[in-house]
Amino acid sequence: MDDVKIGEILLPGEESEQEARASKVRRRFWPTMKRAMRQLPFSRDVVAAYYCAMDPATPMRTRGILLGALAYFVLPFDVIPDVFAFVGFSDDIAVLTAAFAAISGQIKEEHYIRADDALTDEIAEGGTAKR
């Protein structure tokens, strides 16, 4: 995946576009996350990014970048289909890593606390989340 493509995915977009992305991410995030947890080396960061993106106190630019990355993550069809074990989420990992670099530290401790709680609940329900 080239930098131009990742750059296009991570454009913050207009507020209306962010709301459309937020709606899509809300609907598809948890089912996708449950499938990806075994393959993502940084599940905790991805869940914290979800909570940061959904937080109305998050700056619009940060929210837009995270929503772009998370929307790509939840898309059923992307550059490398997610159904391919271990390789399928590699493009998603590249996009998420670029998003984390672009927002450099905007995910707050409260987002990580919520992520920890959600992942703990998932493990209690029989999932195998990595922290």
Mean pLDDT in the chain? 82
Residues in the chain, total: 131
Structure tokens, 85:
């074990």
Residue 55 has pLDDT above 70, yes or no: yes
Residue-level pLDDT at 69: 94
User: Which one has a higher pLDDT value, 37 or 98?
Assistant: 98
The rounded distance, in Å, linking the Cα atoms of 55 and 34 is 21
User: What confidence tens digit (pLDDT) does each residue in 58-107 have?
Assistant: 999 999 999 999 999 888 665 455 444 455 667 888 899 999 999 988 99
Q: What is the CB neighbour count within 10 angstroms for residue 102? A: 18
User: Which one has a higher pLDDT value, 89 or 12?
Assistant: 12
Out of 45-49, 56-60, 124-128, pick the least confident: 124-128
With H, G, I as helix, E, B as strand and everything else as coil, classify residue 128: coil
User: Which one has a higher pLDDT value, 5 or 37?
Assistant: 37
The rounded distance, in Å, linking the Cα atoms of 11 and 32 is 22
CB 47, CB 26: distance < 8 Å: no
**Interacting residues of 16 by C-beta distance below 8 A, sequence separation 6+:** none
